[in-house]
Amino acid sequence: MNRRTLLRTAATTAVVTACGSPAATPGGTATKSPSPSPTPLPTGSKATVELANGGSFTFTLRPDKAPQTVARFVEKSKSGFYNDKIFHRVEDWVVQGGDPLGTGTGGEKVPSEYNDLSFKLGSVGIARGQDPAINNGSQWFVVKKDSTFLDKQYTNFGIVTSGIEVVNAIKIGDKIKTIKID
């Protein structure tokens, strides 16, 4: 790698790290997305999230609408990646977790997968930073009320089918015990 490429890569990494907060507003400058994986995708039709302090909720997965996102989520869930991760963001309209750092700043960069699913009560999405072409590779959220302002701004990959009352009771710092994929 030549010096110019190395400096450009370092600068891009610094900007994404600084601006990659999940609380960032939609917008930014579109850039070329990373290439999707050509390998077979892990699948599942539903995820059940069990919390360490008790309770669970289940959501359907939508690989037909966000195949790469669902594959990453399924793979991370099956590997135990999400075990003991906290919900670091809890607001009146959303709960968000899955950050390996627990601060809202961790996770790798992956391509966005926008679709026509609307962010209605219980929808499950993937966090992103300033650049709408790039999603976070591990942070995910559930909306606690209709949030259609997120439509086509964030990747929607599922919807809660049971346990929305558990989602509504999540507090900052609550831990994921495990996520089971069926």
DSSP 175: B
CA of residue 56 relative to chain centroid, distance: 18
Rg (CA), the chain: 16
Which one has a higher pLDDT value, 3 or 81?
A: 81
Structure confidence at residue 177 (pLDDT): 98
Mean pLDDT computed over every residue of the chain: 84
Task: Name, in order, each residue with C-beta under 8 angstroms of 3's C-beta and a sequence gap of 6 or more.
Answer: none
Round to whole Å and give the CA distance between 181 and 4.
44
Instruction: Report the predicted TM-score, pTM, of the whole model to 2 decimal places.
Output: 0.78
C-alpha torsion 127→129→134→136, nearest 10: -40
Contact 46/59 with Cβ under 8 angstroms? yes
Round to whole Å and give the CA distance between 93 and 108.
25
Helix (H, G, I), strand (E, B) or coil at 176: strand
For residue 134, count CB atoms less than 10 angstroms from its CB and return exposed for 0-12, middle for 13-18, buried for 19 or more.
Answer: buried
Q: How many CA atoms lie within 13 A of 119 on its CB side?
A: 22
Structure confidence at residue 42 (pLDDT): 57
Contact 41/67 with Cβ under 8 angstroms? yes
pLDDT for 32-53, tens place per residue? 444 454 445 556 799 999 999 9
Round to whole Å and give the CA distance between 77 and 80.
5
pLDDT for 100-151, tens place per residue? 999 999 999 999 999 999 999 999 999 999 999 999 999 999 999 999 999 9
